[in-house]
Chains A and B, each alone.
Chain A
Amino acid sequence: MGRYVARRLLQMIPVFIGATLLVFCMMYALPGDPVRALAGEQAVDPAQIAAMKKDLGLDLPLWHQYWNYLTGLLHGDFGTQIASGQPVADIIADAFPITARLTFFAFAFTTVVGISMGIFAGMKADSARDRVLLMVTLLLISVPSFVLGFLGQYFFAFQLGWVQPNVSGEANWNELFLPAVVLGSLSLAYVARLTRTSIAENLRADYMRTATAKGLPRRRIIGVHLLRNSMIPVVTYLGTDIGALMGGAVVTEGIFNVKGVGWSVFGALKQREGATVVGIVTLIVVVYLVASLLVDLLYAVLDPRIRYA
């Protein structure tokens, strides 16, 4: 087990370098010059722009810029923003905690509510309550998240007055509740459906009959035998979902004014702040890698037949 984890961690290094290189090249390939764009439609002085680019190292060839970026990264330096001159590390430090909180909330909501709904329906497949669940989840999957977001905002903030429509700069826990529910609802639908199908299928499995024949109490049959085996596809989905929740929340963050990672990376992309985009995307890649490692380790816990050496 220990060797397996060590190997997986070592494998992250080439993936990490490859991902940064790829994003770096993409940013480089994008047309549009961020330094020139600062002047907008106003007059521009080419000599001054050239001097600014030289200061920022943007006049160097791609490989040299990437080398500078990597060596900076090894020293813990994420680079500086072109326009504001702020260190990218500050921007990441501002955005990540907020997104982490939002993701945690959405993830907890997805997991707890989704799995419960799945169990509830899967235990009695094709019953009325199963049909209702399928309907509800179908609805959640098909309605775009911005519709859910605006609807939630309208009902809970303006009609009922339970919550504030927007998240303030501090992004407190109670403010993040509604955005997290909206953000998590799509994954919730998938989790519920995966759990439901998996449970319904495993109910008919041989080991279930054996367990019942052995005279085990029902609680143990369902809680241990059934659930453990049914969780494997759900855990796989949840693992990749963490990354998606973190990086892909641009729409939800926009509606509720959450100043998180998605919004920061979108803003940076629009302003061609290469270092910011690469920095944030890299961190999301790391989150993905760690999550998938955890998922693989969980397999072994859930299914004793899987062993890592």
Chain B
Amino acid sequence: MRGGKSAKWVVGAIVVALSATACGGGSDSDDSASKEKGKPAGYISMDNGEPQKPLIPADTNESVGANVIRSLFTQLLTFDKDGGIVYTNAESVTTKDSKTWTVKLKPGWKFHDGTPVTAETYVKAWNWYSNVDNKMQNSFWFSDIDGYSEVHPDKGAAKAETMKGLKVVDDNTFTIDLTAPVPYFEYKLGYYTFAPLPEVFYKDPKAFGQAPVGNGPYIFQKWDHKKLIQVKANPDYTGPDKAKNKGILFKNYATVEAAYQDLLSGNLDLVKQVGPKDLPKYKQDLGDRVIDEPWAGIQSIVPVFYSKTFKGINPKVIQGLSMGIDRKTITEKVLNGTRNPATSFTPPGVAGHQNLNTDVFTFDPAKAKKLVADNGGVPGNKIWIQYNADGGHKEWVTAVCESIRNATGVDCVPDAKPDFQTDLEARDAKQVKSMYRGGWVADYPVNVNFMKELFATGAEANTGFFSDKEVDADFKKGDNATSLDDSIKAYQEAEKVLLEKMPSIPLWEYKTNGGYSKAVDNVAIDFHGDYVLTDVTVK
């Protein structure tokens, strides 16, 4: 650089460079407004994220990986929007005693590599998934099957390679023996963890997890880590959920805000969740291209029954606390309408959801105060609500606390843990001070899933350590019922008992608040709140 004059030249050069780039950008945006960069014709794109784990059905339990796996694999059956069973790969699933189940497969199905889908591919996969040595995240899903305790003992290595409860009858038939009757077992089969695996998997599970070969409506194309997963429609697919588009791009965005910007600029077709920044205006931005629907998930605050606060407490006090929460105002004002106030322990959309005819979930400050005071109050007159600060819960936890404090006079303090890991650690180690934030999403759309897994004595997800003989007996009754209907009814009775015992305070049901671009149509969500991707059409 030489003196002021050359400095002026430099400035000039920058101005020229700036405007040149700006112009270049201008012409670029003209053609990409109509067509998304790198998206083949007929494909749809969705904001998804990076799957945490390799794409193996039984090793994924988070929604990002689940979206991809469900597009690549088809298990025996799936559910329609109302939670009803739709057979996909199964011709029929039958039982006489809820203990022995016979599965008949639709003949002629093939994996994407051309090998046939047979009863053997199912049985072998389930045995592999269950085996403790393979360390699959979802292995516990197979624990109803007779012989699970040998392939997955509590301690040490597997004692057997196969479960004796699984028997191949012929190419398209196999039977499942359970250790005890489970009337709703068929519903569990709708989880993608029960998908079959082709022979190629066993040669190199690690490589398979990076480029899975499934039997589903889409065929895996590529996984560009942290950026994109691409799948194309399977032309030979014969299931009822055949793809109506040519393929999917699962994209990964750094933030929900960034994804929303791309939706607005036409660079993305589907957004799962609009971020808090854009929620107040997304209906205005998108018009009728908005998805605003509830699905089967429930958020609650859970008392821990080992804590000083809730040890041996009269459940009526917890009912009082529940009535001190102004669910309606908080869902509308604090949560921007992204939740619906809960009215029972189960969300709508699961079989057996019922109206409990109670005012326990209705805001009534006077009655709340009376219930708490008349039944011995809260020890120390103070409760804590533990939550993870990285999940966007702070605002509503504070609001719930405020509401409880104003209504009942019980001091309520939000207890933030820096992130979900720390939050879980405190729950496992029995260090929660009095309550924690709980969220539960339906694994299968039956009311059982919202009760047994959470409130049965010793259930693994029962980290509030609620234990009640009457409730356990009612659950048992439901499990021993001979038909699914009787089982659901028994659990409905159990739910009424739960209302008296208050093992948790249900707050609200989850909703999907998303949107889609002008390029696509027929967008709907399933009972999980995920998009039914096979049905989306390209205009």
B425 close to A32 (CB less than 8 A) = yes
Whether B10 is near chain A, meaning CB under 8 Å from some CB there, is yes
A165 close to B5 (CB less than 8 A) = no
14 A-B pairs besides A48-B139, A84-B52 with CB distance below 8 A are: A31-B422, A32-B420, A33-B425, A36-B428, A39-B137, A43-B453, A48-B132, A83-B52, A84-B225, A94-B225, A160-B26, A162-B29, A253-B254, A270-B390
Question: A160 — which chain B residues lie within 8 A by C-beta?
Answer: 26
Question: B28 — which chain A residues lie within 8 A by C-beta?
Answer: 163-164, 174
B7 close to A157 (CB less than 8 A) = no
A177 close to B25 (CB less than 8 A) = yes
Quick one: which of B114-166 are within 8 Å of A by CB?
132, 135, 137, 139-140, 152, 154-156
B7 close to A174 (CB less than 8 A) = no
Whether A220 is near chain B, meaning CB under 8 Å from some CB there, is yes
A40 close to B421 (CB less than 8 A) = no
Whether B61 is near chain A, meaning CB under 8 Å from some CB there, is yes
Quick one: which of A250-302 are within 8 Å of B by CB?
253-259, 263-264, 270-272
B425 close to A36 (CB less than 8 A) = yes
A116 close to B11 (CB less than 8 A) = yes
A162 close to B439 (CB less than 8 A) = no
Chain A minimum-CB-distance residue to B460: A43
Subset of 19 A-B contacts with CB under 8 Å: A32-B419, A33-B425, A38-B137, A41-B438, A41-B439, A45-B152, A47-B154, A47-B156, A84-B51, A85-B53, A85-B209, A94-B225, A116-B10, A116-B14, A123-B4, A162-B22, A165-B261, A166-B261, A223-B2
B258 close to A257 (CB less than 8 A) = yes
B1 close to A36 (CB less than 8 A) = no
Choose from B10, B137, B424, B460 the contact partner of A112 (Cβ within 8 Å).
Answer: B10
Whether A119 is near chain B, meaning CB under 8 Å from some CB there, is yes
Question: B10 — which chain A residues lie within 8 A by C-beta?
Answer: 112, 116
Query: Given contacts A84-B52, A174-B21, are A120 and B258 in contact (CB under 8 A)?
Result: no
B52 close to A38 (CB less than 8 A) = yes
A158→B457 CA distance, assembly (Å): 56
Choose from B140, B228, B251, B420 the contact partner of A37 (Cβ within 8 Å).
Answer: B420
Chain A minimum-CB-distance residue to B61: A42
A183→B160 CA distance, assembly (Å): 58
A44→B135 CA distance, assembly (Å): 11
A37 close to B2 (CB less than 8 A) = no
| B430 CB, min distance to chain A CBs, angstroms | 14
Chain A minimum-CB-distance residue to B23: A162
Question: A148 — which chain B residues lie within 8 A by C-beta?
Answer: none
A4→B117 CA distance, assembly (Å): 69
1/0 per residue B62-91: CB within 8 Å of A?
100000000000000000000000000000
Question: A257 — which chain B residues lie within 8 A by C-beta?
Answer: 253-255, 258-259, 261-262
1/0 per residue B236-280: CB within 8 Å of A?
000000000000000111110111011011010000000000000
Whether A218 is near chain B, meaning CB under 8 Å from some CB there, is yes
| B103 CB, min distance to chain A CBs, angstroms | 24
A300→B459 CA distance, assembly (Å): 70
Question: A168 — which chain B residues lie within 8 A by C-beta?
Answer: 37-38, 267
A166→B257 CA distance, assembly (Å): 10
Quick one: which of B45-62 are within 8 Å of A by CB?
50-54, 61-62
Choose from B11, B226, B424, B428 the contact partner of A259 (Cβ within 8 Å).
Answer: B226
Interface Cβ pair total, 8 Å cutoff: 190
B29 close to A163 (CB less than 8 A) = yes
| A232 CB, min distance to chain B CBs, angstroms | 15
Chain B minimum-CB-distance residue to A109: B14
On B, residues with C-beta under 8 Å from A are 1-7, 10-11, 14, 21-22, 24-26, 28-30, 32-33, 37-38, 50-54, 61-62, 132, 135, 137, 139-140, 152, 154-156, 206, 209, 224-228, 251-255, 257-259, 261-262, 264-265, 267, 390, 418-422, 424-425, 428, 438-440, 453, 459-461
A36→B439 CA distance, assembly (Å): 17
Question: B264 — which chain A residues lie within 8 A by C-beta?
Answer: 158, 165
Choose from A90, A119, A165, A220 the contact partner of B225 (Cβ within 8 Å).
Answer: A90
A107→B35 CA distance, assembly (Å): 33
Question: B227 — which chain A residues lie within 8 A by C-beta?
Answer: 169, 259
| A113 CB, min distance to chain B CBs, angstroms | 6
B139 close to A86 (CB less than 8 A) = no
Chain A minimum-CB-distance residue to B443: A42
| B250 CB, min distance to chain A CBs, angstroms | 12
Query: Given contacts A162-B29, A253-B254, A257-B254, are A120 and B7 in contact (CB under 8 A)?
Result: yes
Choose from A34, A40, A264 the contact partner of B61 (Cβ within 8 Å).
Answer: A40
| B10 CB, min distance to chain A CBs, angstroms | 5
| A186 CB, min distance to chain B CBs, angstroms | 18
Query: Given contacts A85-B54, A94-B226, are A162 and B25 in contact (CB under 8 A)?
Result: yes
Whether A58 is near chain B, meaning CB under 8 Å from some CB there, is no
Question: B14 — which chain A residues lie within 8 A by C-beta?
Answer: 112-113, 116
A221→B3 CA distance, assembly (Å): 7
B255 close to A41 (CB less than 8 A) = no
A241→B1 CA distance, assembly (Å): 22
